[in-house]
A and B are shown apart, each in its own frame.
With several copies, the nearest count.
Chain A
Amino acid sequence: MDLLEYQAKELFNQVGIPVLPSQRIDRPTDLKGLRIPFPVVLKSQVYTGARGKVGGVRFVENTIDAIAAAQAIFHLPILGKYPKVLLAEAKYNADREFYLAVTLDNATRRPVLLGSQYGGVDVESHLDQMRQVVVDQTFSPFYARRLALMMGLQGKLISSVSAVIEKMYRLLVERDLDLVEINPLAVNVNEELMALDGKITVNDAALGRQPALTALVAAIPNPTLTYMPNCGVHLVELEGNIGVLCSGAGLTMSTLDLLHKAKGRPANFVDLGGDYRHCCPPNVLQERVKQGLDLITQTKGLKVIMVNMLGGATSCLQTAEAIAAFLKWQPANRTIPPLVVRLVGSEWAAAQSLLAAMEIPVYESMDEAIAQTIGLASTAVKVQPGQSKSSLMLASA
């Protein structure tokens, strides 16, 4: 999960990475109480990049201009998202701009330090200048100096830049982060450093042991959370007319692929997870099936729902019972689209009998279930335009 720039800079400040005096702006009138002297930069706090090019960053010289600019930025969508807060920050005269990052390298399975003398907007056009140091054993500051040298730094910049890298590394480890990035790290004419923009990606799986981070991010809903530490059931919305409920990421991907291949259009999906989630052991799967179906059916325009469940310690009958219970508890005025169910495991016949009584077909073959689903979805239903694609979540029972 990504942090917003102002949250990242709070963490930078805590570990001693130099950041400019700044102030969080929740509404334009906050600028009347600004404690930073003008000129000031106002920055839209959104999770996407490239805000500068579309007007999400503005320089202002006085309170009147600042309030006007803030109003404009609050009403400026960036890749479809409106900011909930802005960051007001002092100006800095950068002579040069570096790029620094610390993250995990999948291939070596180690933390990796990244750096370039070509930071800021130049980083993509100078990818060949990006240097990398793998932290293969216990970190020590010499790894950071190694990167500084590879970046071509000399003299006192070696120590000052590697001190920033060291702090970024310690932040990564202490807070269980996936990424700590400073871009640009500004260097002024006196070779002093300043983190002008920063990005932090929290490791979602580790959030449960990082109460301070959890508190930090609780304020502002974040769409990038991929792993539910509390095993909540998570709906992903797409644009189509087929609801999908699956067990496990691999099977979910495969199911979506096969629907897509057969020209079906999934409207959304819920992945109930594999067999090895401690927070939601198999014995709560029935409850989770109900929660998943409840989320899926909140999307409008569904023509059919495909349930594809395999593995786990739950029997087919138990899954079927959960589906039956979900349908039984619906209010009379609510219309649920037809279901196609694919189950593998014990008590299959009993599951089939139970659901057959509710006119729900049960298959053992994934291909057959896909074919039936596509058949039911084939009468196209127009999806409500402007429908939000944001994620809905339900906490687990």
Chain B
Amino acid sequence: MSFAAESHVLVYGIAEPLGSLYVPKMVAYGTPIVAGVSPGYGGQVVAGIPVFDLVEQAIETVGSIDTVLILVPPYEVLDAALEAMAAEIGQLILIAEGVPPLDMVQILREAEATETLVVGPNSPGVIVPGEVLLGTHPAECYLPGSVGLISRSGTLTYEVALELTRAGIGQSIAVGLGGDRIVGSSFQQWLQILEEDDRTEAIVLIGEIGGESEEMAARYIAEAIDKPVIAYLAGYSLPKGQPMGHVGAVVTAKIAGLGVDVGTIDSKLTAFKQAKIPVADRPSKLPKLVQQALDKVRT
């Protein structure tokens, strides 16, 4: 994992609408974007960034790339991701909502074979406050500091960061894993990354109903994470089975009408309780819980 200011970033789909909207913001934030790729736009310049037709062509000109941020429309994400992995790039961030899950299966088979870190899709990407913006996080919500945020959501991550920032609690890094059923990296992977990250002193895990990733994360935290973790869970008031865009385990639970109690708020709260992870019942409660954890760590 290296999203540091000295890493080299390529934006795939720089000439797409989302590219022209977010690339200037990322550049202004100081993100080290060294190249863009948009087939057919080779030779152009977007927000001061040279554009190439192919990833390998960009590498020939600008040198090695650490991270590719993929901003293309959802049905083009598979091809862009495979192209980036064929060029031996080790970190991919997929932003688009609506990537078909079977495309993700293909991406992840290749990512596992090549040990590539994939963030997203349906994700706001990664922000290292004060240094690097790789995605859609609104800069004004963040403050440099020592709390890592890992989330399945976009806007809710901004909301949580904003509460911490207003309380004067800065963040070391924030990542949106993506709201889809099949996403590239898991809570566990990012818990491990933040556990090893020197700047991070405490971790906020932002979960939601559906799926079983919070349950698996809670077990992993109990086993492998020494830094304090505080959780917030959204969606407990939703009528059962209400699809929310973040479709989670809705399909799995529907199979044969299996009434398995996975993905409900109760199953998640129980898992966090067993792992002794404090859970905030609203975003505005997080600053206090995080501050308590930080105080404990620092003494």
Does B100 sit at the interface, judged by CB under 8 A? yes
The complex places the Cα of A257 from the Cα of B158 at a distance, in Å, of 17
What is the minimal beta-carbon distance from B3 to any residue of chain A, in angstroms?
Answer: 18
A92 contacts partner chain B, Cβ-Cβ < 8 Å: no
Q: Is the beta-carbon distance between A124 and B54 smaller than 8 angstroms?
A: no
B141 close to A104 (CB less than 8 A) = no
Q: Which residues of B contact A99 (CB under 8 A)?
A: 256
Quick check: A253 and B243 within 8 Å, CB to CB? no
Interface size class of A (residues with CB under 8 A): 35 or more
Q: Does A5 contact B (CB under 8 A)?
A: no
| Most chain A CB neighbours (cut-off 10 Å) among B16, B99, B242, B256 | B256
Most chain B CB atoms below 10 A, which of A109, A141, A145, A344: A109
Decide if B40 touches A159 in the complex (CB within 8 Å): yes
Question: Which residues of chain A from 219 to 239 have a CB within 8 Å of any chain B CB?
Answer: 224, 226-227, 229, 236, 238
Do A311 and B158 touch across chains, with their CB atoms under 8 A apart? yes
Q: Which of A104, A250, A258, A344 has the most CB of B within 10 A?
A: A250
Q: Quick check: B54 and A123 within 8 Å, CB to CB?
A: no
CA distance A206 to B257 in the complex (A): 24
Q: In the bound complex, do residue B179 and residue A250 qualify as a contact, i.e. CB atoms below 8 Å apart?
A: yes
Say whether, besides A159-B39, A206-B100, A229-B98, A106 and B252 are in contact (CB < 8 Å).
yes
* A101 touching B256 in the complex, CB below 8 Å, given contacts A238-B239, A276-B123, A278-B73: yes
Which residue on A lies nearest to B77, using beta carbons?
A278
- Asked if A21 is at the interface (CB within 8 A of a chain B CB), the reply is no
Known: A140-B82, A248-B153. A149 touches B53 (CB 8 A): yes
B18 touches A276 (CB 8 A): yes
Within 8 A of A (CB), among B203-237: 206, 208-209, 211-213, 216, 234-237
Q: Which of B73, B97, B237, B239 contacts A274 (CB 8 A)?
A: B97
Q: A103-B251, A145-B39, A158-B39 are in contact. Are A138 and B82 (CB under 8 A)?
A: yes
Partner-contacting stretch, out of A11-19, A172-180, A294-302: A172-180
Residues of the B chain whose Cβ atoms lie less than 8 Å from the Cβ of A310? 138, 141, 155, 158-159, 162
Task: Tell me how far the C-beta of B17 lies from the nearest C-beta in chain A, rounded to whole angstroms.
Answer: 5
Could you say which residues of chain A place their CB within 8 Å of the CB of B235?
253, 256-257
Inter-chain contact A252/B244, CB cutoff 8 Å: yes
A2 nearest in chain B by CB position:
B254
Contact of B256 with A251 in the complex, beta carbons under 8 Å: no
Q: Residues of B within 8 Å of A, CB-based: how many? A: 95
Closest to A201 in B: B251
Tell me whether A49 and B257 are in contact (CB under 8 A): yes
Known A140-B79, A227-B98, A248-B155; contact A179-B254, beta-carbon cutoff 8 A: yes
Contact call B156/A254, Cβ cutoff below 8 A? yes
- A154 contacts the other chain (Cβ, under 8 Å)? yes
> Of all chain B residues, which has the CB nearest A104?
B101
CB distance from B208 to the nearest CB of A (A): 6
Closest to B216 in A: A107
Q: Does A80 contact B (CB under 8 A)?
A: no
Q: Is A275's beta carbon under 8 Å from chain B? A: yes
Cα-based distance from A227 to B179 in the complex (angstroms): 12
Known: A101-B255, A227-B245. A261 touches B281 (CB 8 A): yes
In the complex, whether A366 has a CB less than 8 A from a CB of chain B is yes
Give chain B nearest CB distance to A122 CB in angstroms: 10
**Given A206-B102, A261-B237, A274-B154 contact (CB < 8 Å):** yes
Residue of A127, A226, A271 most packed against chain B (CB within 10 A): A226
Q: Contact at B283–A276, with CB atoms within 8 Å? A: no
Q: Is B45 part of the contact surface with A, judged by Cβ < 8 Å?
A: no
CB distance from A247 to the nearest CB of B (A): 6
List, in ascending order, chain A residues with CB within 8 A of B282's CB. Answer: 254, 257-258, 261, 367
Q: Mark B241-279, 1 if CB is under 8 A from A, else 0.
A: 011111111111011111100000000000000000000
Q: Do residues B98 and A278 form an inter-chain contact, with CB atoms below 8 A? A: yes
* A313, CB-defined interface residue at 8 Å: yes
Contact in complex: B245, A344 (CB < 8 Å): no
Q: Which of B53, B99, B245, B248 contacts A273 (CB 8 A)?
A: B245
Is residue B148 within 8 Å, beta carbon to beta carbon, of the partner chain?
A: no
Q: Which residues B126-152 have CB closer than 8 A to chain A?
A: 136-138, 140-141, 151-152
Residue A142 CB within 8 A of the other chain: yes
Q: What would 13 more interface pairs be, CB under 8 Å, given A149-B53, A156-B40?
A: A111-B102, A124-B258, A138-B82, A203-B100, A250-B153, A253-B237, A254-B283, A257-B282, A275-B136, A276-B121, A278-B96, A283-B17, A313-B21
Interface residues of A (CB under 8 A from B): 49-50, 99, 101, 103-107, 109-111, 114, 123-124, 127, 136-138, 140-142, 145-146, 149, 154-156, 158-159, 162, 172-173, 176, 178-179, 181, 183, 201, 203, 205-206, 208-209, 224, 226-227, 229, 236, 238, 246-254, 256-261, 271, 273-279, 281-283, 310-313, 344-346, 365-367
A-B contact pairs, 21 of them (CB 8 A): A50-B257, A104-B182, A137-B110, A140-B78, A142-B80, A142-B83, A145-B53, A149-B54, A158-B53, A203-B101, A205-B100, A206-B102, A208-B98, A226-B245, A250-B179, A251-B158, A254-B234, A257-B282, A273-B245, A276-B95, A367-B282
